[in-house]
Every structure is written in C-alpha cells, then in structure tokens.
Amino acid sequence: MPTLLVIDEEPAIRHAFQKAFGAPVAVRIATPAAEGLAAGVECLAARRSSH
C-alpha cells in the first residue's frame, strides 16, 4: 500500500489529506517537522527492508 506523509501544523490541512487520500493510501500525519523527518526516515527504512 502506498504511504503519504503529511507534515503540517494545521489540523484542518492534516484532516483534509486524511479525507482525500485515506482509503487506498496509508496516510501518516506528523507535526512538528522533526517528527515528520523521523517518520520519513522510518518509512524509507521499512520500504528498503521489504524489497
């Protein structure tokens, strides 16, 4: 399943991404930016280990 990482401080923006992409895409939400960076690294590491 594809993953979309959304890094944003605004709850309305995060909610909009979840509603728009929630069904066929795994939506990861991160705030603040440092958490988003860590989540991105984690997603990439998981993807590499599965291939």
pLDDT (tens digit, 9 = 90+) per residue, 3-48? 888 889 899 998 998 899 877 888 888 888 888 899 889 888 988 8
Alpha helices in the chain, H assignment, sequence order: 11-21, 33-50
The CA-to-CA distance between both ends of the chain, in Å, stands at 13
pLDDT of residue 12: 94
> Cα(27)–Cα(13) distance, rounded to whole angstroms?
13
pLDDT of residue 46: 86
Three-class SS state of 5: strand
pLDDT of residue 33: 87
Three-class SS state of 23: coil
